[in-house]
Chains A and B, each alone.
Chain A
Amino acid sequence: DQQVKQNSPSLSVQEGRISILNCDYTNSMFDYFLWYKKYPAEGPTFLISISSIKDKNEDGRFTVFLNKSAKHLSLHIVPSQPGDSAVYFCAASDGAGNMLTFGGGTRLMVKP
């Protein structure tokens, strides 16, 4: 039973445009959500997080939106750059210090 799902395995975007990556979850106990970027054969790199008391968090070109009623979060990257090409994972936890449950990942390709 996948509690965190990323339904798009891949996404292709033109440089300078917006990239929108989506993530859905089923466990209503999740209260902290994170996005990680990962290159092949490297560890996940933390990008941005959001707690369930917020609906938006921004950090530079990255914005995460959380819709608790829909159990849906999204990551917006504006403007997209070729260096953003990687696999993006969303993850969730149900309390500080608890394990992360990961989605299956979305491969983002930003074309110059």
Chain B
Amino acid sequence: DSGVTQTPKHLITATGQRVTLRCSPRSGDLSVYWYQQSLDQGLQFLIQYYNGEERAKGNILERFSAQQFPDLHSELNLSSLELGDSALYFCASSPVGRRDTPGETQYFGPGTRLLVL
């Protein structure tokens, strides 16, 4: 158990709909990262939040957005869903996220499996 929790575990929805995925980081971790794993692709970085502020963006679609709340949990919002959005979505957290410190490990949650029909 990494200490990172994600809900829901599974989500089935239709094209055009909007869903919200939730992540609670490990206790004390300030940084939250979202990754997507599609069938034909590896793990791709989407977006990072640090202590409530957006820190970095990867190849995240404009239809997707995220936020981190004062209690440090994060939500990933996916809208106008398309068939190609079906994937595993993982949240990870790390303690500090400061760029002037040595590399740090990210711990992953169990993921949310999204199926768009």
A residues sitting closer than 8 Å to B (CB atoms) are 31-34, 36, 41-46, 49, 51, 89, 91, 93, 95-105
| Distance in Å: Cβ of B50 to nearest Cβ of chain A | 7
Answer whether residue B58 sits at the interface, using C-beta atoms and an 8 A cutoff.
yes
Residues from chain B with Cβ under 8 Å of A103 in the complex = 42
B43-A95 in contact (CB<8A): no
A95 and B31 CA atoms in complex are apart in Å by: 14
A44 and B108 CA atoms in complex are apart in Å by: 6
A-B contact pairs, 19 of them (CB 8 A): A31-B103, A32-B102, A33-B103, A36-B108, A41-B88, A43-B90, A43-B111, A45-B2, A89-B43, A96-B104, A97-B94, A98-B56, A99-B33, A99-B45, A99-B56, A100-B35, A100-B43, A100-B45, A104-B42
A30 and B100 CA atoms in complex are apart in Å by: 14
Q: Which residue on chain B has the smallest CB distance to residue A103?
A: B42
Answer whether residue B97 sits at the interface, using C-beta atoms and an 8 A cutoff.
yes
Q: Which residue on chain B has the smallest CB distance to residue A92?
A: B103
- From the candidates B88, B98, B111, name the one contacting A96 in the complex (CB within 8 A): B98
B residues sitting closer than 8 Å to A (CB atoms) are 2, 4, 6, 31, 33, 35, 42-45, 48, 50, 55-56, 58, 88, 90, 92, 94, 96-111, 113
A100-B101 in contact (CB<8A): no
Q: Which residue on chain A has the smallest CB distance to residue B57?
A: A99
- From the candidates B55, B90, B108, name the one contacting A97 in the complex (CB within 8 A): B55
A18 and B107 CA atoms in complex are apart in Å by: 27
B106-A42 in contact (CB<8A): no
